[in-house]
């Protein structure tokens, strides 16, 4: 497995300072959550470090890379190419940063949209991206931070529902995969947090 220190250096050189600080936040928050829920903390740390490695491509570049990599794109992704930065980032993690573990690559791939029935590592990086310490304090974040260490499925549901509500409010594109994910975790919570 790639040396963490080497990847950290590469991300520090690649990303603007603020994004690099966020990246470190997602990385160590993911490894803490991995310890809490029984995933591999080193894999979580690496997925966190690389999750935004394609974030700074322009919309045009993301579409070009999507094409080059043969990704089938939804109309939402074509209209709002930023939605693609997780999928393109997973390819970059493999091509440029030598990550072979599928588990890590899929956690990077789905961190932007989430999806139904996520793996433990996918879920960890998805919620860590939302609640790492550097995130601007927004309404409900404190509760989500506490909840993350108590119930990962409920947190996933809350993060999806807040993110979708925010995108709706801003009239931004919502990837259908996120809606499917919200439905999935809502159903999963029936009788627990949705009763
Ligand atoms: Fe991201
Ligand atoms: Fe991020």
Confidence of residue 124 (pLDDT cuts 50, 70, 90): very high
How far is ligand 1, taken at its centre, from the CA of residue 195, in Å?
A: 32
How far is ligand 2, taken at its centre, from the CA of residue 70, in Å?
A: 24
Q: What confidence score (pLDDT) does residue 26 get?
A: 98
Tens-place pLDDT, residues 41-60: 999 999 999 999 999 999 99
How far is ligand 2, taken at its centre, from the CA of residue 186, in Å?
A: 24
Q: Can you give the CATH number for the domain in which 159 is found?
A: 1.10.3210.10
How far is ligand 2, taken at its centre, from the CA of residue 13, in Å?
A: 17
Query: For the chain, what is the domain count?
Result: 1
Position 153 in a domain: yes
Do the beta carbons of residue 120 and residue 39 sit within 8 Å?
A: yes
Confidence of residue 1 (pLDDT cuts 50, 70, 90): low
How far is ligand 2, taken at its centre, from the CA of residue 129, in Å?
A: 5
| Res 193 pLDDT > 80 | no
Position 50 in a domain: yes
Scan for tokens 């790492």, then name that residue: 132
| This prediction's pTM | 0.96
Average pLDDT over residues 97-113: 97
CA distance 115 to 108: 12
DSSP the chain: ---HHHHHHHHHHHS-HHHHHHHHHHHHHHHHHHHHHTS-HHHHHHHHHHTTTTTTS-HHHHHHHHHHTT----HHHHHSGGGGHHHHHHHHHHHTT----HHHHHHHHTTTT--TT--HHHHHHHHHHHHSTTSPP-TTHHHHHHHHTT-HHHHHHHHHHHHHHHHHHTT----HHHHHHHHHHHHHTTTTT--
Q: Which domain holds residue 162?
A: 4-188
Q: How deeply is 13 buried, as exposed, middle or buried, from its count of CB atoms within 10 A (0-12, 13-18, 19+)? A: exposed
Q: What confidence score (pLDDT) does residue 192 get?
A: 87
Residues 6+ apart with CB under 8 A from 170: none
Position 61 in a domain: yes
């Amino acid at each position: 497995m790639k040396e963490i220190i080497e990847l950290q250096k590469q991300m520090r050189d690649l990303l603007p300072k603020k994004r690099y600080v966020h990246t470190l936040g997602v990385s160590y928050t993911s490894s803490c959550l991995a310890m809490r829920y029984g995933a591999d903390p080193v894999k979580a740390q690496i997925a966190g470090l690389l999750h935004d490695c394609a974030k700074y491509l322009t919309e045009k570049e993301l579409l070009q890379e999507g094409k080059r990599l043969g990704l089938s794109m939804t109309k939402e992704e074509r209209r709002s190419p930023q939605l693609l930065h997780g999928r393109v980032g997973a390819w970059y993690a493999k091509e440029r940063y030598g990550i072979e573990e599928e588990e890590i690559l899929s956690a990077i791939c789905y961190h932007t949209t989430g999806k139904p029935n996520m793996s433990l590592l996918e879920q960890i990086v998805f919620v860590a991206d939302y609640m790492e310490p550097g995130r601007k304090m927004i309404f409900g974040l404190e509760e989500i931070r506490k909840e993350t260490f108590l119930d990962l499925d409920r947190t996933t549901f809350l993060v999806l529902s807040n993110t979708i509500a925010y995108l709706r409010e801003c009239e931004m594109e919502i990837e259908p995969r996120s809606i499917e994910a919200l439905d999935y975790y809502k159903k999963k919570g029936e009788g627990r947090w949705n009763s």
